[in-house]
């Protein structure tokens, strides 16, 4: 299909035609029979259905599309889908993001041709030239710098093929991911080492009697709609919902207790709750004795952490702390804590999350009905093994720069991970990293943005697979236009674990609704072509993503075709208390309050002078503390309309986001700075004013939304807007971020001290 | 005047509404409407109080297809019709003269006007697009092959329901049914009472004086 033909099929084009036809009908009173009916609004036209697995926030809620004459015209959820419903016999839906993937499917702003940098300028070329050019540049890069200086920054590709491409074949040990490196590094590390696993976010909601949403806004920012649906079901069943959050949210609105906590004092609250639970004798003695390690360190850590002590720090009444601690422990094991980025993106978050997760071990809610659930993934196969491919490991003998060079000895996180987001610009300066491959990944949104912008300039080779123009793609040497999920044959192999089915493995897949827009292609095919051009053809026998998916399902009794036909299939059951049989995946084989036996962690702790067990680390130990010059806390938030850079450019979403803030009559469609009237009034700021946010690192401008929703002194803005993002209006919150991070985990610290001022003049 | 058993109605449960606007987007996309066009289904966020005694309640509204259809009564060219067969209020855009009388009469602020100046609003997904409901055959329930209205179909919290009154009444709480029978919201829509205590909840319980419409404005 040529790009011209594809453009003609866009929904926008149809929409314009449709509007013209409607106008004619309105004036003339009838529709001439020679006019084609508009498929977008004519249900009698030839109608087909197709499935998708939503890739807007990448949590894969099932999508069902109505397709008329080859054009998708409507989209909705899939009933009983593991991620998009509340489980058996319940309807599937799509949140605003998931619905707007329909708009993305025909978005004329998408990149639809390959581009390469020639004589300093990005130029559209055909695929052959783009692949040939890229292979040549990669070869030159290897010759000049060595493959180990290339960083694989793949985020949301729909297969794991990149790991083999960059690690085994190209031969670089450098890899940066999301969960551990930029999303919730502290809890990711705590969960992993304590025995909960790195996916430490989810409660067995439907069976829970007591849910604590700790720094989580489950009704607005969820990992699949099964989460809010599950919590609503629990509330219907009489469960208690507690929300710990400095800001009022839709989740706080529905809570039995909203604890409007002083920011970054979660660790103190958790220790005090533990103190109460021990004092009241409400802990699970059997579990603690038989299944845990390091309880003595925990007892010692909470001994003097009374609710009165915590009241001074957290601002939460001691009586409320007592009530919540007792309520949680009495409901256990049917009591769970949902925690994600809220206690994940500040400087002391690793230790804070360790204090919170210790409560799970204390009350013995782990992998028991209604508590913390250890979900199981389907047994996906390694397609290289399925095909008996003798894959080399060309990265063998190489060491990530973080561990290879003395320059990085001051970073304690090097003992538990191979890279940190905020240290990359320094590595580029030092000549230790000279190239990057970004596949649906935009480091400019993840912290140290100004340093990263310079690093992109310095790097010798920047390759991106993306759908939109932004400061990353404009700085690249190669821009490959990626087909979106709805245009691909996709098997969701990104953690198909947590879901509305508490006891079933599952898998979800879908086939392309139709050909990709313009010349866009699936990222998998791009990498396969590149591998062939690099001379690795013998290792990559797959013609398509569907074939690769087929091999991934080698251990499962369904073909890709069969999965895609039904959108999802439920697989074998798994029970509770899996630790009875398997133990915990930790150094001691037990749930660990104390991480003294984890060698890397113990080394980091020693260098930092902190305990290996639970410990209270006050805010400002490593993070910013507001002062006279920069008196306000600044933290970013997630609204239900946006996740990463994938959806911000879509009109339906930023329009509803504006309407939610009653600012739709303004031309501005960026993010809003939410601040309390007590902070706004002295600064002469009103809702709708443009304001400047400033820190020692830099500044940015956005529109103010003055609301009692947020705590005095605590300002927030939505993630994913402004310079560096695909929707460039508004402010990239990371423009005011320097290199603050949690030294234990490497997670960028997004909690910053700022000053806000009115810009004045007309908006 | 009361609602016929086989006339379609909307039901809304603020306890299950998470304020996500999925209903607004779903409606827009089903009916192929531009993002910046006025919403046929709106979500308002009604807030009160000072931090931390702050509340914000989301309310989703559209045309309620009122049993007494005030818009129909004031429409000069009789473009608006309250249909006998299913109770759905439709607009014949060939007759509409864009006079906005319906907007003045509507208690829910439901009519919207496009660039041509003609009225369009929720047609309960009887058809698609502006005026898509006019002249359509009787609306069937999904069990009988009819579509699920877009807003209901994608309501993440399951807060919106629609159907013939006799069927909807089977699914509502006793308290909501009772209040409806007593004439809450003038019998135009069934709304679950808020479970939480608080000023707004009390106001809703108070009934007639402060309707959800006033709250949303």
Q: For A149-171, what is each residue's pLDDT tens digit?
A: 999 999 999 999 999 999 999 99
A760 has pLDDT over 90: no
Q: Please report residues of A whose CB lies closer than 8 A to that of B134.
A: none
* pLDDT band per the 50, 70, 90 thresholds, residue A644: confident
Average pLDDT of the segment spanning A340-349 = 97
Using one digit for the tens of pLDDT, what is the confidence trace for A306-333? 999 999 999 999 999 999 999 999 999 9
pLDDT at residue number B131: 87
Q: Identify the three-state secondary structure at position A573.
A: strand
pLDDT number for residue B110: 96
Residues of chain B contacting A93 with CB distance shorter than 8 Å: 22, 153-156
Q: Say yes or no to pLDDT of A34 above 50.
A: no
CA distance A253 to A750: 25
Question: How high is the pLDDT of residue A493?
Answer: 74
Which residues in chain B have Cβ-Cβ distances shorter than 8 Å to A639? Answer: none
Arithmetic mean of pLDDT over chain A: 93
Query: In the structure encoding, which two tokens stand for residue A75, read together?
Result: 């989209």
Q: Which residues of A touch B60 (CB under 8 A)?
A: none
Task: Enter the tokens of residue A462.
Answer: 């920047």
**pLDDT value for A40:** 67
3-state secondary structure string across A357-415:
HHHHHHHCCECCCCCECCCCCCCCCCHHHHCCCCCCCCCCCCCCHHHHCHHHCCCHHHH
pLDDT band for A414, please (50, 70, 90 cuts): very high
> So what's the pLDDT on residue A699?
97
B146 touches chain A (CB under 8 A): no
Taking only the tens place, the pLDDT of each residue in A483-497 is 999 999 999 877 789
- 151-190 in chain A: CB under 8 A from chain B: none
Query: Has residue A290 got a pLDDT over 80?
Result: yes
Which B-chain residues 24-83 have CB contacts (< 8 A) with chain A? Answer: 24-26, 28-32, 34-36, 39, 42-43, 45, 47, 49-52, 54-58
CA–CA separation, A278 vs A95, rounded Å? 41
Give residue B11's pLDDT. 97
pLDDT at A90: 97
**pLDDT band at residue A35, thresholds of 50, 70 and 90?**
very low
Rounded to whole angstroms, the Cα distance separating A633 from A712 reads 9
* A10 has pLDDT over 50: no
* Packing angle of the helix pair A523-533, A545-552 (nearest 10 deg): 100
Please check the confidence at residue A18 and state whether its pLDDT lies above 50.
Answer: no
A257 touches chain B (CB under 8 A): no
Share of chain A above pLDDT 70, in %: 93
Please say if the pLDDT value at position A3 is more than 70: no
Domains recognised in chain B with CATH numbers:
8-216 (3.30.70.20)
Q: With bands split at pLDDT 50, 70 and 90, how would you rate the model's confidence at A44?
A: low
Q: Are A327 and A241 in contact (CB under 8 A)?
A: no
Show Cβ contacts of residue A449 under 8 Å, excluding neighbours closer than 6 positions: A723, A724, A732, A734, A735, A737
Contact between A258 and B52 using a beta-carbon 8 Å cutoff: yes
What residues of chain B score a pLDDT lower than 50?
Answer: 197-217
For residues A126-147, average pLDDT? 98
Interface A-B: count of C-beta contacts within 8 A:
147
Q: Which residues of chain B have a CB within 8 Å of the CB of A45?
A: none
The string of pLDDT tens digits covering residues A667-695 is 999 999 999 999 999 999 999 999 999 99
Name beta bridge partners: A64.
Answer: A51, A76
Cβ-nearest to A96 among B22, B129, B157? B22
CA pair distance B63, B124, nearest whole angstrom? 9
d(C-alpha B89, C-alpha B112), whole Å: 14
CB atoms A660 and B21 under 8 Å: yes
Domains and CATH numbers, chain A: 3-105 (2.20.25.90), 115-175+381-492+504-512+525-573 (3.40.50.740), 198-375+582-608 (3.40.228.10), 632-758 (2.40.40.20)
Residue of A nearest to B126 (CA): A43
Interface ipTM: 0.93
d(CA B32, CA B40): 12
């Amino acid at each position: 299909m040529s790009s011209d033909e594809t453009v003609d099929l866009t929904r926008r084009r149809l929409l314009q035609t449709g509007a013209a036809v409607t106008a004619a009908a309105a004036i003339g009173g009838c529709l001439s029979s020679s006019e084609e009916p508009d498929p977008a609004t004519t249900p009698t036209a030839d109608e087909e259905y197709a499935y998708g697995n939503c890739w807007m926030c990448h949590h894969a809620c099932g999508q069902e599309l109505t397709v008329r004459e080859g054009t998708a015209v409507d989209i909705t959820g899939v009933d009983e889908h593991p991620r998009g419903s509340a489980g058996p016999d319940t309807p599937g839906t799509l949140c605003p993001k998931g619905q707007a993937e329909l708009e993305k499917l025909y978005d004329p702003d998408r990149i639809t041709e390959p581009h390469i940098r020639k004589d300093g300028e990005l130029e559209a070329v055909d695929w052959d030239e783009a692949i040939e050019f890229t292979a040549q540049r990669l070869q030159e890069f290897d010759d000049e710098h060595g493959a180990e200086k290339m960083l694989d920054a793949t985020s949301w590709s729909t297969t794991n093929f990149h790991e083999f491409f960059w690690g085994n074949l190209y031969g670089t040990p450098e890899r940066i991911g999301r969960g551990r490196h930029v999303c919730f590094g502290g809890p990711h590390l705590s969960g992993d080492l304590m025995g909960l696993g790195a996916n430490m976010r989810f409660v067995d909601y439907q069976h829970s009697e007591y849910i604590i949403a700790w720094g989580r806004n489950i009704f607005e920012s969820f990992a699949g709609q099964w989460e809010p649906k599950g919590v609503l079901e629990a509330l219907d069943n009489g469960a208690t919902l507690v929300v710990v959050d400095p800001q009022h949210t839709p989740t706080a609105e529905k809570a039995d207790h909203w604890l409007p906590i002083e920011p970054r004092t979660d660790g103190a609250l958790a220790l005090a709750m533990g103190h109460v639970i021990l004092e009241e004798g409400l802990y699970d003695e059997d579990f603690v004795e038989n299944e845990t390690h390091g309880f003595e360190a925990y007892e010692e850590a909470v001994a003097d952490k009374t609710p009165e002590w915590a009241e001074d720090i957290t601002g939460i009444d001691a009586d409320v702390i007592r009530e919540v601690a007792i309520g949680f422990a009495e409901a256990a094991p049917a009591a769970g804590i949902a925690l994600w980025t809220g206690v994940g993106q500040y400087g002391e978050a690793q230790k804070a999350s360790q204090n919170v997760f210790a409560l799970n071990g204390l009350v013995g809610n782990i992998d028991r009905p209604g508590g913390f659930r250890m979900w199981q993934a389907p047994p996906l196969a390694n397609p290289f093994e399925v095909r008996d491919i003798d894959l080399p490991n060309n990265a063998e003998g190489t060491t990530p720069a973080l561990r290879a060079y003395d320059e990085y000895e001051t970073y304690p996180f090097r003992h538990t991970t191979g890279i940190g987001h905020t240290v990359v610009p320094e590595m580029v300066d030092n000549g230790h990293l000279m190239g990057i491959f970004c596949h649906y990944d935009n480091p400019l949104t993840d912290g140290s943005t100004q340093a990263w912008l310079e690093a992109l300039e310095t790097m010798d080779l920047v390759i991106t697979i993306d759908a939109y123009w932004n400061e990353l793609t404009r700085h690249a040497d190669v821009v490959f236009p990626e087909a979106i999920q709805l245009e691909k044959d996709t098997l969701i192999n990104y953690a198909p674990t947590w879901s509305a089915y508490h006891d079933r493995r599952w898998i979800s897949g879908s086939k392309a609704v139709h050909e990709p827009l313009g010349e866009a292609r699936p990222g998998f095919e791009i990498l396969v072509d590149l591998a062939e051009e690099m001379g690795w053809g013998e290792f990559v026998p797959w013609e398509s993503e569907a074939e690769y998916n087929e091999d991934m399902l080698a251990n499962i009794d369904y073909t890709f075709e069969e999965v895609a036909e039904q959108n999802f299939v439920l697989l074998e059951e798994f029970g509770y208390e899996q630790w009875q049989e398997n133990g915990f995946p930790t150094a001691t084989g037990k749930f660990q309050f104390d991480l003294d036996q984890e060698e890397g962690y113990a080394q980091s702790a020693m260098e930092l002078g902190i305990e290996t067990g639970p410990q209270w680390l006050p805010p400002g130990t490593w993070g910013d503390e507001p002062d006279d010059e920069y008196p306000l806390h600044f933290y970013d938030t997630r609204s239900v309309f946006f996740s990463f850079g994938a959806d911000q450019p879509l009109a339906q979403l930023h329009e509803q986001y504006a309407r939610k803030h009653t600012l739709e009559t303004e031309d501005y469609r960026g993010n809003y700075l939410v601040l309390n009237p007590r902070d706004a009034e002295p600064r002469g700021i009103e809702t709708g004013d443009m304001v400047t946010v400033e820190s020692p690192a830099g500044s940015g401008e956005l529109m103010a939304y003055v609301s009692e929703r947020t705590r005095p002194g605590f300002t927030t803005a939505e993630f994913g807007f402004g310079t560096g993002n695909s929707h460039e209006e508004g402010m990239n919150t990371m423009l005011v971020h320097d290199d603050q991070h949690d030294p234990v985990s490497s997670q960028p610290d997004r909690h910053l001290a700022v000053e806000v001022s009115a810009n004045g003049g007309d908006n | 005047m009361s609602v016929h058993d086989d006339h379609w109605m909307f039901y809304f449960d603020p306890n299950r509404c998470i304020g996500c606007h999925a209903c607004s987007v779903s409606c827009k996309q089903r009916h192929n409407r531009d993002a910046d066009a006025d919403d046929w289904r709106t979500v308002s966020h009604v807030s009160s109080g000072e931090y931390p005694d702050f509340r914000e309640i989301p309310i989703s509204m559209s045309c309620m297809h009122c049993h007494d259809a005030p818009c129909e009564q004031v429409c000069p060219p009789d473009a608006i019709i309250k249909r006998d067969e299913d109770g759905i209020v439709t607009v014949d855009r060939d007759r509409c003269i864009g006079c906005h009388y319906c907007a003045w009469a509507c208690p829910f602020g439901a009519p919207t006007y496009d660039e041509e100046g003609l009225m369009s609003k929720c047609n309960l997904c009887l058809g698609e697009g502006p005026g898509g409901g006019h002249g359509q055959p009787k609306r069937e329930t999904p069990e009988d092959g009819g579509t699920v209205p877009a807003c209901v179909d994608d309501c993440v919290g399951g807060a919106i329901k629609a159907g013939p009154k006799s069927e909807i009444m089977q699914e509502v709480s006793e308290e909501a049914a009772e209040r409806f029978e007593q004439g809450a919201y003038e019998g135009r829509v069934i709304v679950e009472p808020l479970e939480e205590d608080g000023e707004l909840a009390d106001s809703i319980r108070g009934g007639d004086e402060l309707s959800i419409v006033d709250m949303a404005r």
